[in-house]
Amino acid sequence: MNDSQFCPNRLGNDVILITGSTAGLGAAMAERFAREGAKVVITGRSEDRGKAMRERLEAVGTEALFVAMDVSQESQVKAAVGAAVERFGKLTGLVNNAAWIQNRNDGPLTEISAETWRKLVSVDLDGVFYASKYGLKAIAQAGGGAVLNMSSTGGIRGQVSSHCYGACKGAIQSLTLQMATYYSRYRIRTNCLVVGPFDTGEGRLRAIVEDPVKGRKLRHQYMGRVGQPHEVASSAAFLMSADASFINGVMLPVDNGGTIRSHTAHGAINMADVDPPSNDWVSLID
């Protein structure tokens, strides 16, 4: 990770549970929170990856707990929140991060089986409900804290695929507003990161960006690159910390400006008709 700007002990009083933190952005956030002093509860289905993450965090000098759980199973989520409170005496933060991202290209809608739809919703949306339901109660009992929901630029834009994934991510943004409004009375802030393309899959996205044809859209929209996990982790650490104590109900895009460019880059111009020779495409965006 790039830890040049981390703030030691900024999260020193916090115990934060991250759903889906055995890999990817969840793991990057776990490491960042640990470096900023938080006790971190790592969760996910993979015992091997979870234990390896716990050891990584302990090496940073923090206490960490791994609880194996499938976020689509309410009883497992409830048990994980209970285990966190039992181990550390409280829970002050929750990051709703787990998602079945490998299946995000699920559309078009008319081709999705009811089974696939249900499976996606059970992980990507039901999981947020379960973790929030039990996490919010525990955080309220601790006297307050912060929740961070992970959405996607796919939740606020039309896409040719990702119909179910996008619907879940859009719903997560709405849920953020409901949670931020209601649970502020318990001194709980709820915010949301609206995440652009990040390199979490062994260079999967980077390979697409570098592909002359497939990468054209991404190169135009995201200014030539995908994000690195530490760039999500630093935004997450800020929103979970007291530095964001007056920020509640915010949808923060972490996308190198991709969201604001979507209409000019994809609406007014049919990108399929645009050749990107040298740097000429820059003038099309501006």
Ligand X SMILES: NC(=O)c1ccc[n+]([C@@H]2O[C@H](COP(=O)([O-])OP(=O)(O)OC[C@H]3O[C@@H](n4cnc5c(N)ncnc54)[C@H](OP(=O)(O)O)[C@@H]3O)[C@@H](O)[C@H]2O)c1
200 binds ligand X (CB under 6 A): yes
Stretch that binds ligand X, among 97-105, 176-184, 216-224, 278-286 (CB under 6 A): 97-105
Stretch that binds ligand X, among 1-9, 44-52, 206-214, 262-270 (CB under 6 A): 44-52
Find the shortest distance in angstroms from Cβ 90 to ligand X: 23
Residue type (1 letter), 88: F
Question: Which one of 10, 80, 85, 97 is in contact with ligand X (CB under 6 A)?
Answer: 97
Residues 6+ apart with CB under 8 A from 251: 151, 173, 176, 191, 192, 194
Stretch that binds ligand X, among 59-67, 81-89, 194-202, 207-215 (CB under 6 A): 194-202
94 binds ligand X (CB under 6 A): no
Q: Check if the beta carbon of residue 192 is closer than 8 Å to that of residue 132.
A: no
197 binds ligand X (CB under 6 A): yes
CA–CA separation, 207 vs 93, rounded Å? 35
Question: Which one of 40, 136, 150, 175 is in contact with ligand X (CB under 6 A)?
Answer: 150
x/- track of binding to ligand X for residues 118-137 (CB under 6 A): -----x--------------
Q: Check if the beta carbon of residue 253 is closer than 8 Å to that of residue 196.
A: yes
Nearer to ligand X among residue 142 and residue 236 (C-beta): 236
Stretch that binds ligand X, among 3-11, 24-32, 139-147, 267-275 (CB under 6 A): 24-32
Question: Which one of 34, 99, 136, 239 is in contact with ligand X (CB under 6 A)?
Answer: 99
Paired strand residues for 230: none
Q: Give the start-end residues of each E strand in 45-134.
A: 64-68, 93-96
Residues 6+ apart with CB under 8 A from 198: 24, 25, 205, 226, 227, 228, 229, 231, 232
176 binds ligand X (CB under 6 A): no
* DSSP sequence for 237-264: HHHHSGGGTT--S-EEEESTTHHHHHII
235 binds ligand X (CB under 6 A): no
Find the shortest distance in angstroms from Cβ 28 to ligand X: 8
Active site members:
165
Residue of this chain nearest to ligand X (CB atom): 24
Q: Is the peptide bond before 108 cis (omega within 30 degrees of 0)?
A: yes
CA–CA separation, 230 vs 204, rounded Å? 17
Tell how far CA 160 is from the center of its chain.
22
CA–CA separation, 159 vs 109, rounded Å? 11
Question: Which one of 29, 120, 175, 195 is in contact with ligand X (CB under 6 A)?
Answer: 195
Start-to-end CA distance of the chain, whole Å, equals 32
152 binds ligand X (CB under 6 A): yes
Stretch that binds ligand X, among 4-12, 19-27, 176-184, 273-281 (CB under 6 A): 19-27
CA–CA separation, 206 vs 215, rounded Å? 9
46 binds ligand X (CB under 6 A): yes
148 binds ligand X (CB under 6 A): no
Binding site for ligand X (CB under 6 A): 19-26, 44-46, 49, 70-72, 97-101, 123, 150, 152, 195, 197-198, 200
